[in-house]
């Protein structure tokens, strides 16, 4: 997906919010803002929005002199999600259709997105779960079920901290198929890294690899060769979150996208309203 | 008032919205956006936000090759307000306290602000009137009444099209004092110019002068010398709207500010919640 003009004011707003979450130093807030204005003034519109996201977050990390400025807040959301895990797992086990309930909860977890939501807290996660259990899905769960019947090797691309705990619920339903979970290669905003895969219990459930990149999405050309091989060999890729959709929606692979449509530009791109639970593909 | 970091993402968003309102040419939308990003990356933060507003709107007018790209939409809001004038005038005449009702309606009209509101239509104006008649004022109407008792010469600084019709209601209550209404020197976004003073009936009620500037506020140093003389000679200045507040709040003159606090930065600056009807000064 290309970058739209409406993404630009959003980049600027997100950069300021992210800088404030990373440090209380107002000089750094201003430097981040000016840096992002200059970058955005020259950015090519044919690249996907997460490529700009990488540049913004590299600048924040550099100016903060901190390789992982959101570590504490990422751990907070991992813990909050882990506290909800037992009751969510019980919901899946008691459900008439455990796979559907697990899909809904995995999408509900996608609300934990620092880029899209500025007023995120534990209450927002609980509300997202309640909404996700009843809301109409935008897309075809049947097509996902069919794809699963033929899929021996599944690559599951994670998205955010906290959310990864809800991904466990869905992956538990996919076993005993061969599932590999993928995290980002380095910290970028609140995206999952190997540390979060360990903290969330994911590493005890399935093999976890990293993609070698610090883009908050999956730009194949920028990922490690080993990851690209795994991507091409997979029978089915499950891609969580808006960033993975923005970077992979034009790729010709068997991918199913699961996310909450938080951004109006993405919602318009796929033809749904903002706030919908999206399941798209595989094509 | 200085420019705050939170103003910057808002400038970028407003510039895109204003460009779209001015033309359907997407190449111009992108050129405006890139131009504003470059300007904002270098702007001094000690100037007031309307100074940046002037630069944005000069760029839009230049790229659109149109000295007044909002002419049609300004006329639409003048007409919409004129349609509401008879019933609003009746409300004032029947009121127990006509001055207070006129102040409330003049502030209600300040909702017609293209900079602050992107989804403005006639329904929003009607809702603003209904709300303004009952809402608690933020500020001291008594101080304004006292100032009026001593004020022979009043300078009334207008703000937006449409809103000017509601300013008539208040000015009618100020007569037979000597009131002069002030419009901007040249078109800038939907701010009032002499054309709107004529269309709204203001020129038939009181003398109207222009301030010689195309800033969507009142930066005295940038205004015409004749206007500055009138400003200094006035016993009381009534300044409508956020732009006039942002540019005059640090000036040491007897000024009463009347506006609706639509912007969170201004609301925080004066210590009220967003959406409040504000009457501040004279100090």
pLDDT at B39: 94
Q: Which of B6, B13, B38 sits opposite A9 (nearest CB)?
A: B13
| A145 in reach of chain B (CB within 8 A) | no
Residues of B in contact with A45 (CB under 8 A): 30
Q: Which of A33, A41, A42 sits opposite B5 (nearest CB)?
A: A33
pTM: 0.88
Q: Which of A6, A16, A41 sits opposite B37 (nearest CB)?
A: A41
pLDDT at B116: 58
pLDDT at A118: 57
CA-nearest residue to A19 within chain B is B5
pLDDT at B121: 76
Q: Which CATH class is domain B71-280?
A: alpha beta
- Asked if A188 contacts A57 with a C-beta cutoff of 8 angstroms, the reply is yes
Please report how the helices A49-64 and A26-42 are oriented relative to each other, as an axis angle in degrees rounded to 10.
Answer: 150
- Asked if B94 contacts B104 with a C-beta cutoff of 8 angstroms, the reply is no
Q: Is the peptide bond before A176 cis (omega within 30 degrees of 0)?
A: yes
Residues of A in contact with B26 (CB under 8 A): 5
Beta-sheet strand order (sheet of A153-157): A137-139, A277-280, A255-260, A236-240, A153-157, A178-183, A208-210
| B37 in reach of chain A (CB within 8 A) | yes
| B34 in reach of chain A (CB within 8 A) | yes
pLDDT, tens digit, 9 for 90 and up, residues B89-142 = 999 999 999 999 999 999 999 988 776 555 677 788 888 899 999 999 999 999
Residues of A in contact with B6 (CB under 8 A): 16
| A118 in reach of chain B (CB within 8 A) | no
pLDDT at A122: 79
Residues of B in contact with A44 (CB under 8 A): none
Q: Which of B6, B13, B37 sits opposite A40 (nearest CB)?
A: B37
| A25 in reach of chain B (CB within 8 A) | no
| B127 in reach of chain A (CB within 8 A) | no
| B29 in reach of chain A (CB within 8 A) | yes
pLDDT at A222: 96
**Facing residues of A240 across strands?**
A258
| B43 in reach of chain A (CB within 8 A) | no
pLDDT, tens digit, 9 for 90 and up, residues A89-146 = 999 999 999 999 999 999 999 988 776 555 677 788 888 899 999 999 999 999 999 9
| B9 in reach of chain A (CB within 8 A) | yes
User: Cα dist. A149→A143, A234, B102, B127, B280 in Å?
Assistant: 10, 14, 71, 56, 69
User: From the CB of residue B34, how many other CB atoms can be counted at a distance below 10 Å?
Assistant: 17
Q: Which of B26, B30, B41 sits opposite A37 (nearest CB)?
A: B41
**Whole-number Å distance between alpha carbons of B270 and A188:** 37
CA-nearest residue to B12 within chain A is A9
| A5 in reach of chain B (CB within 8 A) | yes
Residues of A in contact with B33 (CB under 8 A): 5, 8
Beta-sheet strand order (sheet of B153-157): B137-139, B277-280, B255-260, B236-240, B153-157, B178-183, B208-210
CA-nearest residue to A13 within chain B is B9
| B67 in reach of chain A (CB within 8 A) | no
**Whole-number Å distance between alpha carbons of B110 and B68:** 21
- CB contact under 8 Å between B26 and A5, yes or no, is yes
Residues of A in contact with B13 (CB under 8 A): 9, 13
Written as tens digits, the pLDDT of chain A (283 aa) is 999 999 999 999 999 999 998 899 999 999 999 999 999 999 999 999 999 999 999 999 999 999 999 999 899 999 999 999 999 999 999 999 999 999 999 999 998 877 655 567 778 888 889 999 999 999 999 999 999 999 999 999 999 999 999 999 999 999 999 999 999 999 999 999 999 999 999 999 999 999 999 999 999 999 999 999 999 999 999 999 999 999 999 999 999 999 999 999 999 999 999 999 999 999 8
| B2 in reach of chain A (CB within 8 A) | no
Residues of A in contact with B30 (CB under 8 A): 5, 45
**Whole-number Å distance between alpha carbons of A163 and A105:** 9
pLDDT at A116: 58
- Sequence-distant (≥ 6) Cβ neighbours of residue B247 within 8 angstroms: B1, B48, B50, B51, B215, B217, B218, B219
CA-nearest residue to A42 within chain B is B34
Pairing of the two strands A255-260 and A277-280:
antiparallel
Name the minimum distance, in Å, from the CA of B278 to any CA of chain A. 27
pLDDT at B124: 84
Residues of B in contact with A40 (CB under 8 A): 37
Query: Max CA-CA distance within chain B?
Result: 55
| B118 in reach of chain A (CB within 8 A) | no
Q: What is the dihedral of CA A22, A28, A29, A33, to 10 degrees?
A: -120
Pairing of the two strands A153-157 and A255-260:
unpaired
φ, ψ for residue A186, nearest 5 deg: -145, 160
Written as tens digits, the pLDDT of chain B (283 aa) is 999 999 999 999 999 999 998 899 999 999 999 999 999 999 999 999 999 999 999 999 999 999 999 999 899 999 999 999 999 999 999 999 999 999 999 999 998 877 655 567 778 888 889 999 999 999 999 999 999 999 999 999 999 999 999 999 999 999 999 999 999 999 999 999 999 999 999 999 999 999 999 999 999 999 999 999 999 999 999 999 999 999 999 999 999 999 999 999 999 999 999 999 999 999 8
- Asked if A184 contacts A210 with a C-beta cutoff of 8 angstroms, the reply is yes
Name the minimum distance, in Å, from the CA of B35 to any CA of chain A. 7
Closest CA to A134 of A104, A90, A106, A163: A104
Residues of B in contact with A5 (CB under 8 A): 16, 26, 29-30, 33
Q: Which residue ranges make up each domain of chain B? A: 7-64, 71-280
- CB contact under 8 Å between A12 and B16, yes or no, is no
User: Cα dist. A94→A88, A90, A282 in Å?
Assistant: 10, 6, 28
The ipTM, to two decimals, is: 0.86
Show the 3-state SS of B83-128. Answer: HHHHHHHHHHHHCCCHHHHHHHHHHHHCCCCCCCCCCCCHHHHHHH
């Amino acid at each position: 997906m290309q970058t739209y003009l409406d993404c630009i004011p959003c980049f600027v707003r997100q950069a300021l919010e992210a800088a404030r979450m990373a440090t209380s130093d107002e000089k750094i807030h201003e430097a981040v803002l000016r840096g992002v204005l200059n970058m955005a003034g020259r950015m090519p519109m044919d690249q996907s929005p997460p490529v700009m996201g990488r540049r913004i977050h590299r600048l924040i990390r550099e100016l903060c002199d901190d390789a992982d400025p959101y570590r504490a807040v990422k751990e907070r959301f991992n813990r909050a999600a882990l506290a909800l895990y037992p009751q969510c797992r019980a919901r899946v086990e008691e459900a008439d259709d455990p796979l559907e309930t697990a899909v809904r909860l995995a999408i509900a977890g996608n609300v934990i997105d620092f880029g899209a939501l500025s007023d995120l807290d534990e209450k927002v996660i609980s509300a997202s779960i309640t909404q996700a259990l009843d809301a109409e899905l935008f897309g075809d769960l049947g097509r996902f079920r069919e794809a699963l019947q033929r899929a021996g090797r599944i690559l599951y691309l994670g998205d955010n901290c906290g959310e990864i705990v809800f991904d466990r619920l869905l992956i538990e339903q996919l076993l005993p198929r061969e599932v590999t979970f993928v995290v980002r290669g380095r910290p970028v905003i609140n995206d999952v890294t190997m540390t979060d895969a360990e903290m969330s219990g994911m590493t005890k459930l399935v093999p976890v690899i990293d993609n070698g990149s610090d883009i908050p999405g999956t730009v194949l050309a920028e990922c490690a060769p080993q990851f690209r091989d795994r991507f091409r060999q997979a029978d089915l890729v499950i891609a969580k979150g808006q960033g993975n959709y923005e970077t992979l929606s034009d790729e010709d692979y068997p991918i199913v996208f699961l996310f909450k449509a938080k951004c109006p530009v993405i919602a318009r791109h796929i033809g749904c309203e903002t706030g919908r639970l999206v399941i798209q593909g595989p094509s």
